[in-house]
């Protein structure tokens, strides 16, 4: 059994998104596995690769080859046919290649590779939630109204349907929003969210908001609210409660779930601080593809 040489890796969130949306989930798992267990290069007949296939449940060598070829095509891994060496490109290289400018990165641990699709989905969900927090706690405070029009509003776009200028009491997403982020149906989004919660990547809390309390039933209040606040349509709940032996009615608005991120994010260096000539990177890629 080989032990990992690194106990954690910083994965740029943009790279995680790219992998999720381009069918490179397994490929990225292989790439990270090689980063965990090698010091940047590995021979094609190394026993570590057998362990990789076992750990990532890739029993067929053709399956492994498919993913490796995809990684070479994306130039995340280089290959020299003469020496039979794979070269694992570093993060700086890949960020330069794809122009991944965002500085947000997630901390990946070796055990995250076992359920890597759920991990990546959790990263995308938690990123959205932390972006909401960032918008309200940093951008709003700075009052960069003009700047928000460009980039901060984009961050805020996935936030809840909160419309006032008041900071939301909590941050989260409904299944519909999660499905939109993960490019899947609500059913699948729900499954992934539940699994991510089971694996401890996020916490989910169901939420209701108190709207009104009144002593006598008022059957006009619902239509009044719908008229005044169309976005509450179908989400108003009325509960009968008791206080000091007195019956009273409570109107509540059903809200999206609160999601508490358990994923750790870190800031990585500016892309402009990385000095890698893009022509060299692309040249290396062409040579590797020919060889593969």
Please check whether residue 88 is in contact with residue 34, taking contact to mean a CB–CB distance below 8 angstroms.
Answer: yes
Q: How far is the CB of 175 from DNA (least distance, A)?
A: 4
CA distance 117 to 259: 19
Q: Which is nearer to DNA, 185 or 264 (CB)?
A: 185
Q: Which is nearer to DNA, 57 or 275 (CB)?
A: 57
Q: Which is nearer to DNA, 66 or 262 (CB)?
A: 66
Q: How far is the CB of 130 from DNA (least distance, A)?
A: 19
What are the residues whose beta carbons fall under 8 Å from the beta carbon of 177, sequence distance 6 or more?
128, 158, 256
Count CB atoms within 10 A of the CB of residue 248: 14
Please check whether residue 226 is in contact with residue 234, taking contact to mean a CB–CB distance below 8 angstroms.
Answer: no
Among candidates 179, 206, 207, which has minimal Cα distance to 191?
A: 179
Q: Which is nearer to DNA, 105 or 122 (CB)?
A: 122
Q: How far is the CB of 162 from DNA (least distance, A)?
A: 15
Q: Which is nearer to DNA, 53 or 102 (CB)?
A: 53
Q: Which is nearer to DNA, 240 or 273 (CB)?
A: 240
Please check whether residue 266 is in contact with residue 107, taking contact to mean a CB–CB distance below 8 angstroms.
Answer: yes
Q: How far is the CB of 187 from DNA (least distance, A)?
A: 3
Q: Which residues bind DNA (CB under 7 A)?
A: 26, 57-60, 62-63, 66-67, 117, 174-176, 184-188, 190-191, 193-194, 204, 206, 219, 222-223, 233-240, 249, 254, 256-257
Q: How far is the CB of 26 from DNA (least distance, A)?
A: 6
Q: How far is the CB of 204 from DNA (least distance, A)?
A: 7
């Amino acid at each position: 059994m080989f032990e990992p040489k690194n106990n954690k890796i910083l994965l740029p969130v943009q790279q995680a998104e790219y992998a999720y949306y381009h069918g490179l989930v397994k490929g990225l798992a292989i790439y990270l596995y090689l980063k965990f267990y090698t010091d940047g290069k590995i021979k094609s007949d190394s026993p570590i690769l057998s362990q990789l296939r076992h750990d990532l449940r890739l029993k067929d060598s053709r399956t492994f080859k498919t993913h490796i070829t995809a990684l070479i095509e994306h130039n995340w891994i280089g290959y020299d046919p003469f020496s039979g060496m794979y070269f694992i490109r570093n993060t700086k290289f890949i960020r330069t290649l794809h122009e991944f400018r965002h500085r947000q990165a997630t901390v990946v641990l070796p055990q995250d590779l076992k359920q890597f699709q759920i991990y990546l989905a959790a990263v995308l969900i938690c990123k959205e939630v932390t972006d909401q927090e960032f918008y309200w706690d940093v951008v709003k405070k700075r009052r960069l109204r003009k700047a928000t029009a460009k980039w901060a509003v984009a961050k805020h776009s996935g936030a809840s349907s909160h419309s006032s200028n008041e900071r939301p009491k909590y941050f989260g997403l409904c299944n519909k929003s999660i499905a939109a982020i993960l490019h899947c149906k609500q059913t699948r989004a729900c499954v992934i969210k539940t699994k991510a919660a089971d694996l401890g990547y996020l916490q989910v809390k169901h939420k209701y908001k108190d709207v009104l309390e009144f002593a006598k039933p008022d059957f006009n209040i619902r239509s009044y609210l719908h008229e005044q606040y169309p976005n509450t349509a179908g989400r108003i709940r009325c509960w009968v409660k008791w206080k000091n032996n007195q019956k009273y009615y409570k109107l509540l608005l059903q809200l999206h779930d609160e999601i508490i991120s358990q994923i750790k994010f870190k800031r990585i260096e500016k892309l402009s601080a990385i000095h890698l000539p893009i022509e060299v990177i692309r040249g290396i890629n062409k040579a590797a593809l020919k060889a593969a």
